[in-house]
């Protein structure tokens, strides 16, 4: 019988991940935990919130598994640190792959990975430890995503791509075929990268500027409402 799960986190990420575990996969979450100084309520989603500092006393590692469900603060380094602390306490750190994720059978996944529903992952893909992949993302064949990464919704990653550790890809970021992205890189929304990037690079696409017409003026002039 599978162990019950402890989730580290009491924010929106933890809320989403518990929903998928419980409602989509029938997994049993026993409790939430965070560092004691961040506890503001004794319950979250109807489950107990307990201090991480003494979690072993209430939920021992031989009976419970762990998932660290916090965001991409400091390019995922905060989440990576908590995964290490959980491992140091002797817990099994699980990964979650949504049953409707279209992940191939040969997908290689490290610990504390989260793969949401409605993604498209080709064969021969490797996800390192602690990689989060949100819905709508495409990961092409023979691509390798390094440890502690975050792929926001609708990213497009071509085939044979390598992405380094501690990288973040925002909504609709696109990487061309056979491109290598270094460690600690930040790709903003709607960016297109077709050449290799060294470590610590930031790529940002300019935001679309609003036109001077009001929405009503635009509709009248464009006849958009007649389409």
Q: Is the pTM of this model over 0.85?
A: yes
pLDDT attached to residue 158: 98
Answer with the one of 79, 94, 109 that is the final residue of a domain: 94
Answer yes or no: do 65 and 103 share one domain: no
pLDDT attached to residue 223: 73
In a domain, 83, yes or no: yes
Answer yes or no: do 130 and 181 share one domain: yes
pLDDT digits (tens, 9 = 90+) for 1-58: 479 999 999 999 999 999 999 999 999 999 999 999 999 999 999 999 999 999 999 9
In a domain, 79, yes or no: yes
Report whether pLDDT(226) > 70.
no
Domain ranges, residue 65: 4-94
What letter would DSSP give residue 134?
-
User: Who's near 183: CB < 8 A, 6+ residues apart?
Assistant: 146, 164, 165, 166, 167, 199, 200
The domain that holds 106 is classified in CATH as 2.160.10.10
Q: What is the mean pLDDT of residues 174-194?
A: 98
pLDDT digits (tens, 9 = 90+) for 119-169: 999 999 999 999 999 999 999 999 999 999 999 999 999 999 999 999 999
The domain that holds 55 is classified in CATH as 3.40.50.20
Closest CA to 67 of 152, 164, 132: 132
| Number of separate domains in the chain | 2
């Amino acid at each position: 019988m599978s162990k019950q799960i402890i989730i580290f986190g009491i924010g929106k990420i933890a809320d989403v991940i518990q929903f998928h575990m419980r409602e989509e996969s029938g997994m049993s979450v026993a409790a939430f935990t965070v560092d004691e100084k961040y506890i503001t309520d004794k319950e979250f989603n109807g489950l107990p919130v307990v201090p991480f500092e003494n979690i072993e006393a209430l939920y021992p590692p031989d009976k419970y598994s762990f998932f660290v469900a916090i965001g991409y603060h400091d390019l995922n380094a905060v989440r990576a640190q908590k995964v290490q602390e959980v491992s140091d306490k002797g817990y099994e750190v699980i990964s979650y792959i949504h049953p409707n994720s279209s992940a191939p059978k040969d997908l290689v996944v490290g610990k504390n990975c989260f793969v949401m529903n409605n993604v498209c992952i080709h064969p021969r893909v490797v996800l390192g430890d602690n990689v989060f992949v949100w819905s709508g993302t495409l990961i092409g064949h023979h691509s390798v995503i390094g440890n502690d990464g975050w792929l926001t919704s609708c990213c497009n990653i071509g085939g044979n791509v390598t992405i380094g550790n501690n990288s973040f890809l925002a909504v609709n970021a696109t990487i061309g075929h056979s491109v290598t992205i270094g460690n600690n890189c930040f790709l903003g929304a709607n960016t297109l990268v077709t050449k290799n990037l060294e470590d610590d690079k930031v790529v940002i696409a300019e935001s679309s500027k609003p036109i001077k017409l009001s929405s009503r003026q635009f509709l009248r002039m464009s006849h958009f409402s007649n389409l």
